[in-house]
């Protein structure tokens, strides 16, 4: 209206850690519903360096758009969520992060995900000794990084099963936004069932739901 750029940065705690509905969801889906015509940026970074570069990019660009960052509390103290010093000094923000441990020739499944569930997935993969699945992190949800996404797909020519994995219920989180962006791929949804509440209030039920997600991914026959 006043021809002024808006560089607002918002950090919102978001992550399913078994602490109840009020601790779980920053309502990512509502922010994504407001996105159109590159009006804002939605980021769900999974490393300290990524968070640093997202904010640095915000300041270094010659334009300003609101930046909404979803920041899981668990990753503040998670042993695997670390970055080397050179990641800060030489790196840059990556809209998508490929799975560096996946063998492209052996990979028959790709699990796209966003946020802290990535760490649960790679730990479970190592425990199960599974080698046919790659986990790719979508760090920027909007604007959707289509070129980077397509480049990842080309790297895995043997991948036939494409999944979207999330810890949020089906009607919450980024699933419907991502599905709309890549509708032609017919991604399989792996996550919690639809729910009226953002999350369960019982830690035992939360653990059961997490285990069900892992079972669907790592069972010998992929549950459709």
pLDDT at position 201 is: 86
| CB of 87 closer than 8 Å to CB of 127 | no
User: In a 10 Å sphere around its CB, with 0-12 CB exposed, 13-18 middle and 19+ buried, how is residue 108 labelled?
Assistant: middle
pLDDT at position 35 is: 97
Q: What is the model's pTM? A: 0.92
pLDDT at position 19 is: 86
| CB of 145 closer than 8 Å to CB of 112 | no
33: enclosing H helix or E strand:
helix 28-33
pLDDT at position 21 is: 85
What is the C-alpha separation between 153 and 109, in angstroms, rounded?
Answer: 11
How would you write the pLDDT of the chain (224 residues) with one tens digit per residue? 677 889 999 999 998 988 888 888 999 999 999 999 999 999 999 999 999 999 999 999 999 999 999 998 888 888 889 999 999 999 899 999 999 999 999 999 999 999 999 999 999 999 999 999 999 999 999 999 999 999 999 999 999 999 999 999 999 999 999 999 999 999 999 999 999 998 888 889 999 999 999 999 998 544 44
* E strand segments, 32-120: 41-43, 67-71, 96-97, 109-113
From residue 128, how far is each of 29, 137, 220 by CA, in Å?
A: 32, 20, 11
């Amino acid at each position: 209206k006043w021809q002024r750029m808006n560089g607002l940065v918002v950090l919102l705690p978001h992550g399913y850690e078994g602490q109840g509905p009020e601790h779980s969801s920053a309502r990512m889906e509502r922010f994504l519903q407001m996105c159109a015509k590159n009006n804002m940026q939605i980021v769900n970074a999974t490393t300290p360096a990524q968070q640093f570069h997202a904010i640095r990019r915000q300041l270094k660009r010659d334009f300003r758009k609101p930046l909404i960052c979803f920041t899981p509390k668990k990753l503040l103290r998670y042993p695997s969520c670390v970055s080397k010093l050179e990641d800060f000094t030489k790196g840059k923000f990556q809209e998508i992060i490929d799975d560096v441990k996946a063998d492209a020739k052996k990979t028959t499944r790709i699990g796209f995900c966003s946020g802290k569930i990535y760490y649960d997935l790679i730990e479970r993969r190592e425990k199960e000794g599974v080698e046919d699945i790659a986990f790719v992190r979508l760090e920027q949800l909007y604007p959707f990084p289509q070129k980077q996404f397509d480049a990842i797909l080309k790297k895995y020519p043997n991948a036939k099963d494409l999944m979207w994995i999330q810890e949020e219920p089906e009607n919450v989180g980024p699933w419907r936004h991502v599905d709309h962006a890549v509708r032609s791929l017919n991604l399989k949804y792996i996550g919690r069932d639809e729910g009226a509440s953002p999350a369960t209030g019982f830690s035992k039920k939360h653990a059961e739901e997490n285990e069900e997600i892992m079972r669907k991914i790592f069972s010998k026959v992929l549950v459709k």
